[in-house]
Amino acid sequence: MQLVVGRIGRPHGVRGEVTVEVRTDDPELRFAVGASLATDPPGRGPLVIESRRWHKGNLLLALAGVADRDAADELRGTMLVIDSAEVEPSDDPDEFHDHQLVGLTVVTTSGERVGEVTDVLHHGQDLLVVARGGQDDALIPFVKALVPEVDLDGGRLVVDPPEGLL
């Protein structure tokens, strides 16, 4: 499975640097000089990082073969991706990567099937998006009180929803 670690934004300057919307918690590792990143769409990559710097809180990358502003602008919107196998599992038993949660079957503490996790949103609080087959998707805050069990091996996630959440 491919995981997005960044999205190329607008060009910066005239020498081909691009801004990157960082979508990883380890940008120093993912955007290291010399790293080769796959892209979505695949035809735009792979892209090799020649230099990296931070400017006013924005990550700027110089990429091999991208020598001017026009070439940088052609990459705008390109997703920078890695294979999920490259992500080290966490030592914390209560910490999960989004790709581990997507696809899990959601059941209540009483065993009633709710649906399947289709996405994880990060809007101040992590929210699980649960498709409920014919009904509107449910948004469930990903907190221990509401999600007491995550069984990755069993492919399920147990929820204890308060009245009215579902």
Low-confidence ranges of the chain (pLDDT < 70): 1, 89-93
Domain that holds residue 155: 98-159
Query: Which of 86, 115, 136 finishes a domain?
Result: 86
Q: Could you tell me the two tokens for 134? A: 């014919």
**Alpha-carbon distance 56 to 60, whole Å?**
10
- Are residues 64 and 112 both part of a single domain? no
| CATH number, residue 37 | 2.40.30.60
pLDDT tens-digit map of 138-161:
999 999 999 999 998 899 999 999
- The DSSP output letter for 86 is G
| CATH number, residue 148 | 2.30.30.240
Assess if residue 166 is contained within a domain: no
Single-letter residue type at 38: A
Q: Token match 């009215």: residue?
A: 164
Model pLDDT, residue 90: 64
Q: Is the pTM of this model over 0.95?
A: no
